[in-house]
Structure 1
Amino acid sequence: MQPHELRQLPWPVAAANLSASDRLRHLVAGALRTGRPLAMWREPGTVHPRLVVARSLEAAYTGLPPALDAAAPAGFAFFPFRDSDHNPALFLPADVRFDVAQPDTVAVAPAARSLIPALTAWLAVPPVEQLVWPYSTQPAPHAATQAEYAQLVQTGVAAIEAKTVLKVVSSRAARQPLPAGFDPLAAFTELSEKYPLAFVSLVSVPGVGTWLGATPEVLAEVTPDGTFHTMALAGTQPLVHGQAPNTAIWRQKEIEEQALVARYIVNCFKQLRLREYDETGPRTVVAGELLHLRTDFEVYLRQVPFPNLGTDMLRLLHPTSAVGGMPRQAALDFLHRHEGYDRAYYSGFLGPVNLPVAGVSRLYVNLRCLQLRPTEAILYAGTGLTIDSDPTREWQETELKLTTMGAVLRVVNE
């Protein structure tokens, strides 16, 4: 075995009869029991989740966005809306890897080989029923009332009228009690089944907390065929069952909002002096029980002289105008003054880098997510404001978006 190769550990005899999903739970239990960061995810349009565990908390901290090239380390990125001491930028190295589609072994990276004796002991421990998840030590964010959110929307529209900002994306937090016996792993499975085209994730880091999500929005993606992909996703209306998405009628407000996000991406390409890109859309797409307008952008990396395009675009895009506004700094300053709470990892980004193979990375905007607390969940939702925004409609849009994650908090068989 070469020094750079992954070591494949077989499951011990004591755990050999566990199903693939039970093996996943068994690994998660070991990581939680020993205080190690973990990330579990399921790609859109796929069935089987993957898991990575970092060898230590210290190995997971980083100050810079990950590099999206084949030579960069493999791992899972979990970045906040704004980097701070309370919400650090994280990159969980893929020290321990498990794929439910290939459940017979657990892979260990060379940097984590000292962990093998402990990992072997994890696998031999009998499965546990109750998992203990870490929670953030920060105070729970303020949950805005409808009147407070209406005031935020009015203030945002006034800023647009005064030309302080061109667009701003307001958001709010909501708090819901956890049902008795709430199981984040079961909720992850439920989200995966309910939203097959979403990126479903469960990230748990000691001192930072535990986050669960199902997001529809790609931030930056490098595919196996060498294509860079990003998207402009904006505008929201409820999905009417029985109606074809392509028959949806959009108001001028949503059309303008989506166009601003698309223009922002084009401006990022211009900053890099890149002209060779394909633009498709806007078109109506389904995301759970909602409809959005979406424009896709693709660059064929083998045909342009930009070897670091993915990394450069990631640094230009985050936070995108779809979660902050335009101009970027003016919109972020507005939110810092008026939004009234800390978004933490909501509207940040997350996803695998150089996984499952080198040269393939998929990062998503962390929308439709919740943060777990001991007895409650903190849910998040936002809306893009333009000069035509109405406070009542914007509140209703956030209520619609909250239903995506709120569905997994219902009390079963009540």
Structure 2
Amino acid sequence: METTNTIADITKEIFLETLLSKALDGHLPIAIWKKPKQPFIEVIIDEDKDGIQQPAIDLDNLPPGFMIHPFLLSAEHQPFFIKASNHYRYNLKGEQSPDFDFSVSKKTGEDLTEKIRNTIRRFPSGKKHKVSAKSDFIQTVEKAIRAIQSGTLNKVVPARLKKVRLSDTFDLAGTFLSLCEAYPNAFINCFFSESTGFWIGASPETLIQTKGDQFYTMALAGTQKAKGDNPLKNVAWTQKEIEEQALVSRYIVDCFKKIRLREYLELGPKTTIAGGLLHLKSEFVVDMKATNFPQLGTVMLQLLHPTSAVCGMPKTAALSFIQANETFDRSYFSGFIGPVNMEGETALYVNLRCAKLENTEALLFAGAGITEDSIPSKEWEETEMKCNIIAKIIKTKNPS
């Protein structure tokens, strides 16, 4: 027998599974996310199956919704925008909004989990991609170092692809909630449309954020594993990692210079922790009203993407290297995603620490920033750490 419940007394698992089921039943686009350090899970469902395909990157003129943009535009991969036809919110602290009536038909969790899992399995595998072998990736890194030494590049970020098999008991809602618990400082996200497929991730990197008159972006680079009881206190950065992060910061400053923006606040660099990994981070803040630049979010988005943190410098040469040497299509990995014009705020994140769910597999992506001082074997280890951010949650919930 089915009973009707309100959001105040349903579990977060049923909340997510019911909305996922609603979207998948109607073949409707859905986006689920939790912002860094926030207690709310937010969900939007677009009643229009087609969403907005190939939306113009003009943030001020987009309706409330969720942007999905690929690393590079191609015939196969185009930007996609999920409109917020329906917007739901769940407070993980248990203090639900009293005026928010969320009536659901409560089925057993097992029924909904199986239904969602079967839908994922019916979604066909896309273009076949070659998994990155360790020897091949190391050769690519060595080639990148030679290009940097010759003066062709200052930095480049080759990526690799890893695949893990989803178990017969894979739980999408449970995996999302596990990511929320494990990585409170990351942008936890899951989205689906017929155009993009299923994706899930925990991104540590804000691309741009606008709220009121404030613009924000960050430079995030350098990676090492968090160790000990107080990893932020005991961390030591190498010259290679410091220079890698400085290149990303200079890239942002160069973008400001292109638009003659001189009034900005730079904070850092400082060490930050995200998903069990340590990074160096600098933050940049601009008062858009004081600088008379209300369109700064759109302008900087177009200048920044793809950033040197996921591509390299100079941008054109780095892109050429990536396209010539990577054996797979990045698709939406290292593109950008996030809510747009939701309650007066836009927050777009680089799509990192992510997996695409295809049929019975999770496709994991990770890149490494290569400079002249890079050690190829350590760059491979860095990509393993990054892939495991998602892989270990899937494997913990669903051992293969």
**Is contact 2:125–2:358 with CA below 8 Å preserved after alignment?**
no
Under a length normalisation based on structure 1, what TM-score does the superposition of the two structures give?
A: 0.88
**Is contact 1:213–1:369 with CA below 8 Å preserved after alignment?**
yes
**Is contact 2:334–2:352 with CA below 8 Å preserved after alignment?**
yes
In structure 2, relative to structure 1, the CA distance for the partners of 1:161 and 1:52 (3 Å cut) is same
Aligned equivalent of 2:351 = 366
| SS of residue in 2 equivalent to 1:172 | strand
2:65 to 69, 75, 81: 75
Aligned equivalent of 2:188 = 200
**Is contact 1:43–1:198 with CA below 8 Å preserved after alignment?**
yes
Answering whether residue 384 of structure 2 is matched by residue 399 of structure 1, we say yes
In structure 2, relative to structure 1, the CA distance for the partners of 1:63 and 1:337 (3 Å cut) is farther
1:100 to 90, 100, 108: 90
- The 1-side partners of 2:317 and 2:398 are apart by 48
**Is contact 2:43–2:88 with CA below 8 Å preserved after alignment?**
yes
**Is contact 1:367–1:381 with CA below 8 Å preserved after alignment?**
yes
Answering whether residue 259 of structure 2 is matched by residue 268 of structure 1, we say no
Q: Residues 6-25 of structure 1 correspond to what in structure 2 (within 5 A)?
A: 14-16=4-6, 19=10, 21=12, 22-25=14-17
Letter in 1 for 2:361: E
- The 2-side partners of 1:258 and 1:80 are apart by 23
| SS of residue in 2 equivalent to 1:14 | strand
- The 2-side partners of 1:59 and 1:410 are apart by 32
Deviations 1:109-157 (A, max 9, x none): xxxxxxxxxxx9x955857422123746522321111100011101111
Letter in 2 for 1:97: H
Aligned equivalent of 1:223 = 211
Aligned equivalent of 2:337 = 350
- The 2-side partners of 1:54 and 1:320 are apart by 29
- The 2-side partners of 1:377 and 1:395 are apart by 19
- The 2-side partners of 1:140 and 1:187 are apart by 25
Deviations 1:39-65 (A, max 9, x none): 000011112200011122323312432
Answering whether residue 45 of structure 2 is matched by residue 57 of structure 1, we say no
**Is contact 1:98–1:105 with CA below 8 Å preserved after alignment?**
no
Answering whether residue 154 of structure 2 is matched by residue 154 of structure 1, we say no
**Is contact 1:168–1:386 with CA below 8 Å preserved after alignment?**
yes
Letter in 2 for 1:237: Q
Percent of residue pairs identical: 38
- Structure 1 residue 203: deviation in Å? 0.6
In the alignment, structure 1 segments of 5+ residues that lack a partner are 1-11, 108-119
| SS of residue in 2 equivalent to 1:257 | helix
Moved more, 245-254 or 207-216: 245-254
**Is contact 1:198–1:216 with CA below 8 Å preserved after alignment?**
yes
In structure 2, relative to structure 1, the CA distance for the partners of 1:125 and 1:190 (3 Å cut) is closer
- The 2-side partners of 1:255 and 1:411 are apart by 33
- The 2-side partners of 1:42 and 1:412 are apart by 20
In structure 2, relative to structure 1, the CA distance for the partners of 1:176 and 1:147 (3 Å cut) is same
Q: How many residues align?
A: 385
Answering whether residue 280 of structure 2 is matched by residue 293 of structure 1, we say yes
- The 1-side partners of 2:398 and 2:313 are apart by 46
Moved more, 15-24 or 399-408: 15-24
Aligned equivalent of 2:375 = 390
Deviations 1:10-58 (A, max 9, x none): xx98344861522342122111011011000001111220001112232
In the alignment, structure 2 segments of 5+ residues that lack a partner are none
**Is contact 1:171–1:382 with CA below 8 Å preserved after alignment?**
yes
- The 1-side partners of 2:55 and 2:299 are apart by 16
Aligned equivalent of 1:85 = 75
- Structure 1 residue 301: deviation in Å? 1.5
CA RMSD of aligned residues (A): 2.2
**Is contact 1:211–1:371 with CA below 8 Å preserved after alignment?**
yes
1:41 to 33, 39, 54: 33
